[in-house]
Amino acid sequence: MRPTINRCAPCSLDLMLSQAASEGIVFNSLQIRLCFRSWLAGMLSVLLGLAPSASSNISTSRPNILLLMADDLGIGDIGCYGNNTMRTPNIDRLAEDGVKLTQHISAASLCTPSRAAFLTGRYPVRSGMVSSIGYRVLQWTGASGGLPTNETTFAKILKEKGYATGLIGKWHLGLNCESASDHCHHPLHHGFDHFYGMPFSLMGDCARWELSEKRVNLEQKLNFLFQVLALVALTLVAGKLTHLIPVSWTPVIWSALWAVLLLAASYFVGALIVHADCLLMRNHTITEQPMRFQKTTPLILQEVASFLKRNKHGPFLLFVSFLHVHIPLITMENFLGKSLHGLYGDNVEEMDWMVGQILDTLDMEGLTNSTLIYFTSDHGGSLENQLGHTQYGGWNGIYKGGKGMGGWEGGIRVPGIFCWPGVLPAGQVIGEPTSLMDVFPTVVQLAGGEVPQDRLKQGLSMLPRQLLGSTTQYSTPYEDAILQHCTLSLYTNSVIIVFPPEGTTWKVHFVTPVFQPEGAGACYGRKVCPCFGEKVLHHDPPLLFDLSRDPSETHVLTPASEPVFYQVMERVQQAVREHQRTLSPVPLQLDRLGNIWRPWLQPCCGPFPLCWCLREDGPQ
């Protein structure tokens, strides 16, 4: 039983960094900062009086950094964000003892682009982690697409500053480019010293669930092709035997052979997916193929503990990217049936327990007071993960929509909790917009590094610029906007913009998905809502919401109901034009050529296709 510890108890630096949380969260609009200048000035005088050396202490402290990211977790699934039926005491304690962000936004509502933006501090479109044809995530481990090697992650910068860097858990940002061993997109090529986990992503197909990402679709396509070729073969045979079709036996034999091959492929495609995508690696070595799911959670926790013990003299950066709470919701036996929300709730509560185990390790190794902890999710919960009346996806609270639904808040508003023992104030709540991309400059600044100046970044440090002595001025109009891309075109998504009067947060939708069935709040019957084509609505004028008063996006504003309607629209269009002006052509990593399975890129721990191995039982 873990003792009750105030993990982020305030000390003399507490008040000083309450401004760090507050102003860093106010989005990067010069006008907004002016609205709060008088308040900040008063706070600054108090803070400097209490801690005259605070600025130097922060900038030179180089804390250990622990980043915790859930997969597909809804913001409404956590107690500290309003859920009173799900038990998440460890995550809740982080919020009680630290800083909670209530308008924390992911850069995309799906895994691959959101994680790319998180690691680089850049919109996914800038690194090519989008598609022009509708693919929105990487589809295979054996595909050639992935996070380009010329991108700079915060791990690269911290490694250069002397940090030990590790990633444990999910990657889903590519693996190989030209051969099964070049590892061009591997975490170790993006600044991490150590990697243990899934190079791809946990999927329902890994356990052959009826909720399938690609197995069912592939089986249907293969069966259809088999039926076509079988019909062709039978027609040719009948024509040959009746002398109605003058044809040799060669096309008959070939069409029959292809029909048999397609039938066999449809039968074995499920096993192929399990072996191709559901594997564990340590650095460049495959350790389990396929994975033993009953062992995965203990192995990940052992790996985390091993990393922390090896690097406890620091400084270190550890990114724990949970496989929870993505389907198939692999859950250990002692958590099954314990929650009030079925298997999904069991999985959430197990993840919270994992958070507690990791925090326990920090305590035991004496690392708690020197470690900045951050918890989030890559995007919102998946509403379409439903079978019958059973929900296997997350709950997004009061927010509309969910995973994959473009810019609706339910898909992009995520938990954001920072805890730095003895430094960040306990119980602080920040309501101004922030982004997952803001983590990049925040951790780089804490580590004493510098954000690269050779490329455009979107994130802003969440530390107080005044206290750290920065005099940076922001004048370009797009810098007070958070833009949401669904595909290559911005106009398939939304813009969030903050500006006066009174620091209002506005939300504009150019395109929204058509929910199915009519009146539903999701695209039931599909894996994910589309963001282009016939199943979306184009809005002219765009939909406008005031998130400050209407976070659920239920009341569309019009020129008749909103006096500053045209002012907001002009500001949004200005931000969009400026953003598009700064875009440079880059290879699209998620287009078809980079996103199809290539056998020669498939990681395999035996002679292909006999990819099976079990090489270890614990961390090394």
**Could you tell me which of 150, 139, 192, 136 has the C-alpha nearest to residue 169?**
192
The residues, ordered by sequence, that sit 6+ positions from 188 with a Cβ below 8 Å of its Cβ are 195, 283, 284
**What tokens were used for 321?**
């990217």
**What is the β-pairing status of strands 316-321 and 64-70?**
parallel
Question: Pick the catalytic residue: 8, 111, 278, 419?
Answer: 111
Burial class (CB in 10 A: 0-12, 13-18, 19+), 84: exposed
Q: How far is CA 203 from CA 170, 182, 287, 486, 613, in A?
A: 11, 25, 19, 21, 20
**What tokens were used for 70?**
């859930």
**What's the rounded Cα separation, in Å, for the pair 148 and 152?**
9
Instruction: State yes or no: is 183 an active-site residue.
Output: no
**What's the rounded Cα separation, in Å, for the pair 27 and 461?**
10
**What's the rounded Cα separation, in Å, for the pair 524 and 386?**
8
Structure-token match 């693996």, residue found: 175
DSSP classification of residue 523: B
Q: How far is CA 22 from CA 81, 374, 482, in A?
A: 18, 16, 18
Question: Pick the catalytic residue: 172, 185, 324, 326?
Answer: 172
**What tokens were used for 490?**
């911005």
HSE-CB of 533 using CA atoms within 13 angstroms: 9
**Residue 355: strand, helix, or coil:** helix
**What's the rounded Cα separation, in Å, for the pair 98 and 373?**
9
Q: What is the 3-state secondary structure of 78-122?
A: CHHHCCCCCCCHHHHHHHHCCEEEEEEECCCCCHHHHHHHHHHCC
Instruction: State yes or no: is 104 an active-site residue.
Output: no
- Cite the active site residues: 111, 172
